[in-house]
Amino acid sequence: MIRHAMCVVKQAVHHLNSGQVPVLTLDQPLFAIAKQFQWNWPNDYGEDKFVMLLGGLHLEMASLATIGDLLDGSGWTHALTQANIATPGTAESFLKTTHVTRTRHAHQVTASALSVLLHTAYDAYSCEESEPKSFDEWCVN
Q: Domain residues of the chain, as ranges? A: 2-54, 58-140
What are the residue ranges of helices labelled H in the chain?
2-16, 28-40, 42-45, 56-71, 76-82, 88-96, 100-128, 135-140
Residue 130 is predicted with a pLDDT of: 86
Percent of residues, the chain, with pLDDT higher than 70: 100
Closest CA to 13 of 23, 3, 4: 23
Q: pLDDT tens digit string along 54-89?
A: 999 999 999 999 999 999 999 999 999 999 999 999
Residue 38 is predicted with a pLDDT of: 94
Give the three-class secondary structure for 99: coil
What is the chain's mean pLDDT, rounded?
A: 93
Q: Is the pLDDT of residue 106 over 90?
A: yes
Give the three-class secondary structure for 138: helix
Residue 117 is predicted with a pLDDT of: 96
Look up the pTM and report it. 0.71
Q: How confident is the model at residue 126 (pLDDT cuts 50, 70, 90)?
A: very high
Q: Is the pLDDT of residue 30 over 90?
A: yes
Q: Is the pLDDT of residue 141 over 90?
A: no
